[in-house]
Structure 1
Amino acid sequence: MNWVLLIIAGLFEVGFASCLGKAKESTGSTANLWYAGFFVCLAISMYLLVKATQTLPIGTAYAVWTGIGAVGTALVGIFVFKDPADFWRVFFIATLIGSIIGLKAVSH
């Protein structure tokens, strides 16, 4: 169950990073809504991370949480913000995914 919470926390990390990207592109009340989304996603992500670390090792949980956030944010950047998707960028995203799976596999 705590792995599920950790994965959801990582997805909310993608949410708060994406909200920052959208807020940067916006002005006025629209930007304020994106900042509100940032704070909501941040609070949920942190809460779920704390819950997950009650039974998972902190080092593993934090690495997986940031890994999900990094991969997810990079993919959102590519598909939503039109960041470049060259070979090396995709290669290193794949190595991050492999590392996340490896940490899950070796954790008790």
Structure 2
Amino acid sequence: MLAITSTTSAWLLILASGLLEIAFSVSMKLSDGYTRLVPSIVSVGAAILSVWLMGLTLKVIPVGTAYAVWAGIGAAGTAVVGMLLFQEPATLARIACIGLVVAGIVGLQLQAPV
């Protein structure tokens, strides 16, 4: 099992884990209700790997901060990908709200213990 001891490594794993959350969400959409094999396998694999990587960081980063950043990356990233790939509405209000999520993520990272 991997042992994460540095804050930098933990933050990089949270970033990777958040990107896997985006992959999970997008592949879940592409799986068409888990009726298409390859996107379904990618979705389940990305979800498991995402949670596992995030869990590795919890010895270094407080759980509340780690979870909020992880979920924020996944939520904001998935919203942007939805706009770009699935023609979801890209209204000014939606973009501003995504910006608020990103601002919250940055704020939490700045408050994390060093």
TM range (shorter): over 0.9
Partner residue in 2 for 1:42:
47
1:79 to 74, 80, 84: 84
Write the deviation string for residues 17-45 of structure 1: whole angstroms up to 9, x where unpaired: 00011112895xxx111000001101110
Matched residues, number: 105
Partner residue in 1 for 2:71:
66
Q: Quick one: which amino acid aligns to residue 62 of structure 1?
A: Y
Name the TM-score, length of structure 1 as normaliser.
0.93
* Aligned partner of residue 87 in structure 2, secondary structure: coil
Q: Quick one: which amino acid aligns to residue 55 of structure 1?
A: V
1:5 corresponds to 2:10: no
5+ long unaligned stretches in structure 2: 1-8
Structure with greater helix percent: 1
Name the TM-score, length of structure 2 as normaliser.
0.88
Runs of 4+ in 1 over 2 A off after TM superposition: none
Aligned-residue CA RMSD in angstroms? 1.3
Pairwise CA distance, 1:78: 0.3
Aligned mates of 1:42, 1:86 — CA distance in 2: 29
